[in-house]
Amino acid sequence: MLFEFQYDFDTESLSNELLSHRDEFESYQDDRLNDSLNNWLILRDNNSLPVLREECERFCWDFGLFKNQVKPRYYVLERDTILPKHIDHNTRCSINHILSDNPSQVTFDSGSYSYQTAVLDTSKLHGVDNTGCNDRLLFKLSFFDISFERLVECLKSYSNT
Mind listing the pLDDT tens digit for each residue in 20-73? 999 999 988 766 655 567 899 999 988 899 999 999 999 999 998 988 889 999
Residue 136 predicted with pLDDT over 90: yes
Are residues 135 and 81 in contact, defined by beta-carbon separation less than 8 angstroms?
no
Q: Is the pLDDT of residue 161 over 50?
A: no
pLDDT number for residue 32: 63
Burial 98-116 (b: 16+ CB within 10 A, else e): bbbeebbebbbeeeeeebe
Q: CB–CB of 18/75 below 8 Å?
A: no
Q: What structural domains and CATH numbers belong to the chain?
A: 2-98+116-159 (2.60.120.330)
Instruction: Give the global pTM.
Output: 0.93
Residue percentage of the chain with pLDDT more than 90 = 78
